[in-house]
A and B are shown apart, each in its own frame.
Chain A
Amino acid sequence: MRVILADDAVLFREGTARILIEAGFRVTGQAGNAAELLDLVRRDPPAVAVIDIRMPPGHATEGIDAAAEIRRIHPDVGLLLLSQHVDTHHAMRLMTEFERGVGYLLKDRVSDLAGFAGDVRRVANGDCVIDPELVARLVGRKRERDPLTALTERERSVLALMAQGRSNSALSTELHLSAKTIEAHVRSIFTKLDLPPGVGDHRRVLAVLAFLRSS
């Protein structure tokens, strides 16, 4: 699977490349800024582009802008955005701007070889990936008349994993539960939180994030 990396921190970029290679990926290009990244993608579109959000020249959200451009020119390229810290605002922006195949992770996650490789593959498959820290923060957020207290422990784990972008089958694998059981949990959660049922994975992530953010 072909991957292109974009980050202005050369050491980190090299380290990431090593890890991806170790995990069986083919790193077809490395860029230090958004312009280089776009050049590389135009020349040889990868399965996934791993992009640092904050890059020269402005050190603001150049990565997100570059991702949007990539999605425009090559809609099949998966987009995995990395950042030193994760913000709900950015997560919502990414989920809103990109229909599928998008991820948002802390840079820290890269060092977890297996986990990171899995995330890259899921993005390549068109799934959504949201950093667990962000989800944990949203789930743990202080609420008045917290609707999450209505959920069971298990349901809460399912909710967190859903927010991280896991599909039902992924949930089933991860939690060692049957597909039917997972479906029952998901239905129960949607009923208890009064969320609109019967939506696809991506929509489901967005709905759950929006719920967690606003409630």
Chain B
Amino acid sequence: MTSPAGTPEAQAETRTTEAAGDGRPPSLDAQRPGTGRYVAVSCLGLLCALLVVGGFVLGVYLPNLHNGLIAAAFTAVGIVVVGKRWGNREGWYFTATGVAHAAMFFGRQYGFYSAAHRDAALPGATWVAWTGVWPLALVLVLTGVTLMCFPEGRLPSPRWRVVVVVMVADGVLLALASALWPVEYADNSLSLPHPLQLGGYQTAQRLWDVLGPASYLLLQIAWVACLVDRMRRARGDEARQFRWFAYAVAMGAVAMAAGLAVFGSPMLGVLAVPAIPLAAGLAIVKYRLYDIDLVINKTLVVGALAVLVTLGYIAVVVGVGRLVGVTPGANPVLSIVATAMVAVAFDPARRRVQRVADRLVYGNRPSPYEALARLSTQLSRGGQHDDLLTGLASTVADGVGAAEVTLWVGSIDELVTVAWWPPRSDHRSAMTIAPRNLASLEDGGRAHVRPIVHRGLLRGAVTLTKAPGEVLTAAEDSLLRDLVAQAGLVIDNVGLGAELRQRLHQISVQAAELQAAAKRIVSAQDEARRRIERDLHDGAQQRLVTLALSLRSASRHAAAVGDDQLVARIEEATRQLSQALAELRELARGIHPAILTQEGLDAALSFLAERAPLPVRLNIHLERRPPQDVETTAYFVVSEALTNAAKHSGASSVTVSAGLDGDRLWIEVTDKGQGGADDRWGGGLQGLVDRLAALNGHLTVHSPAGGGTKLRAEIPCE
């Protein structure tokens, strides 16, 4: 039960210092012992040593051996705890328990010696032995309270005080009875007489036989219940402290059982008793040690292997020997075969057992694939930066079974700690280093350091510490390499995420501006077209129509004077003028159909349908007029679509449908022609797409070769 190596000692020291801030009252630690207390502790230690050593000088008596061992162990541990953690009351309880046991031990030793050497009985033997017997109940109460207060020297909650009061009362009663009558002498194999020869012994013994064991049982139940209660509520470090304690108790029980089974003697168990206070003390002083898991793990492995090897050997030598009729031990060949078989089976068995032990102790450590999958899930889920980074650290810790993982982020000039596993609530431990010397992070070889390089640049580092004695296996190393490769991506994402959001915002602002600009352009174009059409209407068309009137008038005058040649010329000019007017009408319509402004989309589409070069079926249902921009765009979409259908589709007819879907105008132009419109439309289609995009609308063209063409535009009516 010694520390596995020198390094954890140092580790524990630094951790203890670090831990000063989290949860532990600093004033108690800061409090340094005065000289008086040093003297007190030293005196207690000396007293215990004198009593125990003196007791053993008188001989070794099995029924009393455990008291001596407990005395030495508790006192030693108590003094060490008091020295290391002055403010920890538990140290004082340990010391008290130890010294009390020492006194009891010495008293009994004195008695045992005197009983054994009746010829050379020590002075006042009956009285001294008496002092070793009757305080037992009180000492047990003290021991119980000590255990109940583990590890901080405080009861788990105030309601346990009631239990302690009951325990003390019980102890006092028992001790009083034991002090007055020799009710406990026989139980402790003490053959000396009781110094007080009071009457009523028979009654007292009868009562004791009933009440004694029950009271002691109650005492035990009380402290065990208290420990279980605390253990169940323990988390983190405290849970780890209890694991130490539980481990020691379990090992003691195993030793006791093994001793009784193999040697038929409780000696082994008794010798293991000091392990409990030792483990408890270790847990208090070095509770930050993470290696308890490792110790339990290895113990499980070794124990299980020992059992397996023994069983295997027995199975071969005895079982096979029986089968072939050979007496065990008589045939060396069988032994050799057994040994060989055990040797061959040893390594696979060890691995299997190790895996089981790992699962028992560490829980389900993820497989490399699981670790990577978990990381990618975290990445795809996104979330807060800190979550991502902490998630990364935890994935590394779980993946390679590290006790501690630190994640550093930065550049070649500076690295900053950003995430830890296990997580730290405070960021006071955040550190900044110049990473040119990554080796400095190795912490004297205890930590594994992996630089995070992404796109050829140092983006950070991962440092991890495994439990002492645990090495980074090749598989873990390879997983670590994969995780670190992903880490570059995570760090990049975290950094890029912020930059990206900024850019996206800019882009969306620009996009909105562009959209608005495009809409303004389209509106301005339409306005210009309307103006041109109106200028033509009020100007050129008006003048030409008037000119036609004048020409007719001139023609009539020429006819009146009988100039037939002139009449013919004027009639020819009038005919040409009519043609020019008709062409101008078409031109004006093409620029902007007046009917659209005057009467709306329905009338304008009717006009388009009337003069389309192929039959058009209209299916228009508009309960209200959309905004002018939207109407004009829809008109040009249909106009362009009809032109293209007539030119390219080869269809016998076209259907134009339009309607309002909530706040959106939709238009569909479908034909059953040869399809494949996408390739032929070219510029015209792009023009429509741009026009629609300006109004936040969109165009879909479904035109499979041979499958007709369906063009659909949707425009929001804002």
Give residues of chain A (90-124) contacting chain B, Cβ–Cβ below 8 Å. Answer: 90, 107-108, 110-113
**Number of interface residues, chain A, beta carbon within 8 A:** 32
A108 interface neighbour in B545, B588, B589, Cβ under 8 Å:
B545
Question: Within 8 Å of chain A (Cβ to Cβ): is B2?
Answer: no
Question: Within 8 Å of chain A (Cβ to Cβ): is B611?
Answer: yes
Question: Within 8 Å of chain A (Cβ to Cβ): is B606?
Answer: yes
A213 interface neighbour in B543, B550, B606, B611, Cβ under 8 Å:
B606
Asked if residues B615 and A59 are in contact (CB atoms below 8 Å), the reply is no
CA gap between A54 and B652 in the complex, in Å: 37
CA gap between A61 and B596 in the complex, in Å: 12
**Binary CB contact string for chain B from 61 to 79 against chain A (1 if under 8 A, 0 otherwise):** 0000000000000000000
> Which B residues are in CB contact (< 8 Å) with A88?
606-607, 610
Asked if residues A19 and B589 are in contact (CB atoms below 8 Å), the reply is no
> Which A residues are in CB contact (< 8 Å) with B581?
108
Give residues of chain A (121-160) contacting chain B, Cβ–Cβ below 8 Å. Answer: 137-138, 141-144
Asked if residues B550 and A141 are in contact (CB atoms below 8 Å), the reply is no
Question: Within 8 Å of chain A (Cβ to Cβ): is B239?
Answer: no
Question: Within 8 Å of chain B (Cβ to Cβ): is A211?
Answer: no
In the complex, 29 of the A-B residue pairs with CB atoms within 8 angstroms, ordered by the A residue number, are: A9-B546, A11-B546, A12-B546, A12-B549, A15-B549, A22-B556, A54-B537, A54-B594, A84-B537, A84-B542, A85-B594, A87-B599, A89-B603, A89-B606, A89-B607, A90-B599, A107-B545, A108-B578, A110-B548, A111-B545, A111-B549, A111-B551, A111-B574, A113-B556, A137-B611, A138-B610, A141-B611, A142-B612, A144-B652
**A37 CB, min distance to chain B CBs, angstroms:** 18
Give residues of chain B (223-280) contacting chain A, Cβ–Cβ below 8 Å. Answer: none
> Which A residues are in CB contact (< 8 Å) with B551?
111
Question: Within 8 Å of chain B (Cβ to Cβ): is A33?
Answer: no
Asked if residues B553 and A19 are in contact (CB atoms below 8 Å), the reply is yes
Residues of A within 8 A of B (CB): 8-9, 11-12, 15-16, 18-19, 22, 54, 59-61, 84-85, 87-90, 107-108, 110-113, 137-138, 141-144, 213
CA gap between A14 and B538 in the complex, in Å: 15
Q: Which of B581, B598, B599, B606 has the most chain A CB atoms inside 10 A of its CB?
A: B598
Q: What 10 A-B pairs are tightest by C-beta distance, nearest first? A: A15-B549, A89-B603, A111-B548, A111-B552, A9-B542, A12-B546, A144-B615, A11-B546, A107-B545, A142-B615
**A119 CB, min distance to chain B CBs, angstroms:** 15
> Which B residues are in CB contact (< 8 Å) with A87?
595, 599, 603, 607
> Which B residues are in CB contact (< 8 Å) with A90?
595, 599
A59 interface neighbour in B534, B610, B611, B614, Cβ under 8 Å:
B534
In the complex, the chain A residue whose C-beta lies closest to that of B581 is A108
Question: Within 8 Å of chain A (Cβ to Cβ): is B465?
Answer: no
Q: A54-B594, A142-B612 given as contacts; is B607 within 8 A of A12 (CB)?
A: no
CA gap between A180 and B652 in the complex, in Å: 40
Interface of A is mostly: helix
**A210 CB, min distance to chain B CBs, angstroms:** 12
A144 interface neighbour in B549, B585, B653, Cβ under 8 Å:
B653
**Binary CB contact string for chain B from 579 to 620 against chain A (1 if under 8 A, 0 otherwise):** 001000100110000110111001100110011111111000
**Binary CB contact string for chain B from 543 to 564 against chain A (1 if under 8 A, 0 otherwise):** 1011011111100100000000
Q: A141-B610, A142-B613 given as contacts; is B549 within 8 A of A110 (CB)?
A: yes
> Which A residues are in CB contact (< 8 Å) with B534?
59
Question: Within 8 Å of chain A (Cβ to Cβ): is B541?
Answer: yes
> Which B residues are in CB contact (< 8 Å) with A111?
545, 548-549, 551-552, 574
In the complex, the chain A residue whose C-beta lies closest to that of B538 is A9
Asked if residues A142 and B614 are in contact (CB atoms below 8 Å), the reply is yes
CA gap between A59 and B549 in the complex, in Å: 23
CA gap between A76 and B614 in the complex, in Å: 42
Asked if residues A19 and B552 are in contact (CB atoms below 8 Å), the reply is yes
Asked if residues B541 and A84 are in contact (CB atoms below 8 Å), the reply is yes
A112 interface neighbour in B537, B542, B552, B612, Cβ under 8 Å:
B552
CA gap between A54 and B594 in the complex, in Å: 10
**A186 CB, min distance to chain B CBs, angstroms:** 24
> Which A residues are in CB contact (< 8 Å) with B610?
88, 137-138, 141, 213
In the complex, the chain B residue whose C-beta lies closest to that of A53 is B598
In the complex, the chain A residue whose C-beta lies closest to that of B617 is A144
In the complex, the chain A residue whose C-beta lies closest to that of B574 is A111
Q: A12-B546, A111-B548 given as contacts; is B574 within 8 A of A89 (CB)?
A: no
Known: A9-B546, A54-B594, A142-B612. 11 other contacts (CB 8 A): A15-B550, A15-B553, A22-B556, A59-B537, A59-B538, A61-B599, A85-B594, A88-B606, A89-B603, A137-B610, A144-B652
